[in-house]
Chain A
Amino acid sequence: MIAWLVASPILVPLTTAALCAVFWNRPSLQRVLSLTGSTLLLILAGLLLARVMEGGVQVAQMGSWAAPFGIILVADTLSALMILIAAVMALAVAVYALGDVDAVRERGGYHIIFQVLMVGVCGSFITGDLFNLYVWFEVMLISSFVLLSLGGTKEQIDGAIKYAAINLIATACFLLAVALLYGVTGTLNMADLAVRVPHVANKGLVSTIAVLFIIAFGMKAAVFPFFFWLPAAYHTPAVAVQAIFAGLLTKVGVYALLRCFTLIFTGDMGWTHGILLWIAGATMLTGALGSLAVRDLRRALSWQVVAHIGYMIMGLAIATPLAIAGTVFYLVHDIVVKTNLFLGAGVVRRLSGGDTSYAKLGGLFTAAPILCIVLFVPLASLAGFPPFSGFWSKLLLVRAGLAVENWAIVAAALVTGLLTFWLVGRLWAEMVWKANPDGDALGTTSLGGAARVALVAPLVLLSAITVTIGFYAEPLMRVSAMAADGLVDPQAYIDAVLGAVPTTPTLVGAADTAAMEVQP
């Protein structure tokens, strides 16, 4: 029974996608299915997190093949939390899509591909097998290609080609890294890898493989110096697609880094986590500066996606329990805020007549005061104003940085916060305070009844989550600390996957080499 619950984050969106595909010619039914599927996913994700919080790491062996041989699904606190927050985003975006995704895109299979994307995202969060993670990444990748190019405008095709090219290379890197790791350890199960990697004689090779993983996941997470594809592509597709990309896709890369660099590659932390620290600082600063350089709301937000990835990598690089907890907290906060901001930018775009360059914006406060208040929440949280969620997450990371006396990264984090503050001030001035260049801005009533509800309701929901986390940070903090404890000391994870029986590590790869030398 528990195995079904653990597998449900994959099964529910997969079934929804299949059902939507059956009703290919009936978009109205697909909408209902998509909403139902997302709601069901949310409920099951909540149950799963409750179950994990109560009973520890939950494991499901697929096809009853015991680990480390079969493919295994593992839900620890981090996985369950990520799936829950992904499910919230899926629901918010599914509602938003009702008012946003046009008939052409719906006919092109938007709802199906969206659910397949969620299969890939949830699968990546819950798998306990490295090659299986590769497969989920591919599921996510192919659906993101389709979503990005769905609609087929020139701008989209241009962005999609660049996105596809860089991701194909990242995929090859990932696969190569997986293959080499298999070559030295003889296993692909993550828990088994955690046991075996410390016993590999060739430490240099392990460090090389670790760097390959940094490159592969770094391209997905859009960290410095692999970020350039993101501002090139993320502002082009439908708003609902942008929002789910900005909220979830890069964070899957961060999750994969977090998982691998707390579980598997902990042998040479001075080297691997040192690289991550440089990456973190450079990512934060480049993203913040990039966002100040462009003069378009959506492009500025795309750059901000890059900037805030840096904070999460910073926590991972510092790698104390407090820092990891900060990263987990930041992940949750950032997923909510970024999705909200992109959805909000979509509404602003509609009100300003399809253009989000600063020159075309303005006068929003007189036209739509309540929308402005709703949008103020994610913007303020982005800049880290207290008491919103962004403040607590930055506070945790800065405290963790000060605790290890790493002044440079703390300075980078604070400067980035200041630059973000500057950007938020500029956005607010251009979008809300400035008089509209065309005379009078349109209010949300111009969106039309049903579309208005569909477009604004998710914004209100997500802003409410941000405010709740801000004023009542304790529960999320506790879950983050729990997740961090599980990551810093992965023994519980390993025991849950491999069974409590202590396994004596025998390196199949090494044994094979010895056997081969005897052979003619």
Chain B
Amino acid sequence: METIMAFAVGGMVAGAVYLFLSRQLLRVLFGVILLSNAVNVAILLVGRLTPGQAPLIGQGQEVLGQGLANPLPQALILTAIVIGFGLLSFVLALVYRGYQELGTLDSSQMRTAEPEDAV
């Protein structure tokens, strides 16, 4: 199961890289979304997949038993999702503002900060 999931992560990263190569800014942004989700799945994977084994400490026990799900990666993913969502919504707004100000989402035409003649 982990092997299949690992390949799925690889596929998602490959898709993200393909989208990064686009000159269209919105596609690059979709690439970022795909990449951050790929990373989130990867975090889940490093905690090892244990379907149906909820991380509950049994009665009278002090620590989590063997073979149960590792709750830490899930906490990490939750943090990463929240942060990623915040960043992404800001960047989406920024890109929209960029479209309003610059009139284009084609990255090769975005030369306001680095005009070609100034170099």
Contact = CB atoms under 8 A, between A and B. Distances in A.
B113 A294 contact: no
Contacts of A357: 118
A142 B90 contact: yes
Contact of A236 (B20, B72, B94, B113): B113
A164 B94 contact: yes
B56 interface: no
A268 to B, nearest CB: 21
A175 interface: yes
Nearest to B35: A172
B14 interface: no
A172 B32 contact: yes
A152 B97 CA distance: 9
A149 B94 contact: yes
Nearest to B75: A131
B8 to A, nearest CB: 14
Nearest to A156: B113
Contacts of B119: 293-294
Interface stretch (A90-98, A179-187, A473-481): A179-187
Interface in A498-519: 509, 512-513, 515-516, 519
Contact of B87 (A154, A157, A171, A235): A171
A372 interface: no
A182 B46 contact: yes
A157 B94 contact: yes
A65 B72 CA distance: 15
Q: Most A CB atoms within 10 A — which of B36, B87, B112, B114? A: B114
B71 interface: no
Nearest to A165: B28
Given A161-B95, A168-B32, A179-B73, A154 B42 contact: no
Given A142-B86, A158-B110, A168 B91 contact: yes
Contacts of A154: 101-102, 112
B115 to A, nearest CB: 9
Nearest to A181: B46
A157 B97 contact: yes
Contacts of A175: 36, 39, 43, 80
A179 B90 contact: no
Contacts of B46: 179-180, 182-183, 509
A27 B113 CA distance: 29
B24 to A, nearest CB: 12
A295 interface: yes
B5 interface: no
A169 B35 contact: yes
B66 interface: yes
A495 interface: no
Interface string B97-114: 110011000000011111
Interface of A is mostly: helix
Number of chain A interface residues as a range: 35 or more
Interface in A155-202: 155-162, 164-165, 168-169, 171-172, 175-176, 179-180, 182-183
B67 to A, nearest CB: 5
Given A154-B101, A154-B102, A135 B79 contact: yes
Interface in A383-420: none
Nearest to B88: A168
Contact of B98 (A142, A158, A179): A158
A232 interface: yes
B36 A172 contact: yes
A175 B79 CA distance: 11
A161 B67 contact: no
A155 B113 contact: yes
A168 B94 CA distance: 13
Nearest to A174: B39
B7 to A, nearest CB: 16
Nearest to A233: B113
Interface string A128-146: 0001000100100110011
Given A154-B102, A172-B39, A516-B48, A159 B76 contact: no
B65 to A, nearest CB: 10
A157 B86 contact: no
Contacts of A156: 113
17 contacts: A146-B90, A154-B101, A157-B94, A160-B98, A161-B94, A161-B110, A165-B32, A168-B91, A169-B20, A172-B36, A175-B43, A176-B42, A179-B43, A182-B72, A182-B73, A513-B48, A516-B48
Given A172-B39, A293-B119, 15 more contacts: A142-B86, A145-B87, A157-B97, A158-B113, A160-B94, A161-B94, A179-B73, A180-B42, A231-B114, A235-B113, A236-B113, A294-B118, A294-B119, A512-B70, A519-B67
Interface of B: 20, 25, 28-29, 32, 35-36, 38-39, 42-43, 45-48, 50, 66-67, 70, 72-73, 76, 79-80, 83, 86-88, 90-91, 94-95, 97-98, 101-102, 110-114, 118-119
Q: Which 9 A-B pairs have the closest CB atoms?
A: A183-B46, A158-B112, A159-B113, A179-B43, A158-B113, A168-B32, A172-B35, A176-B39, A138-B83
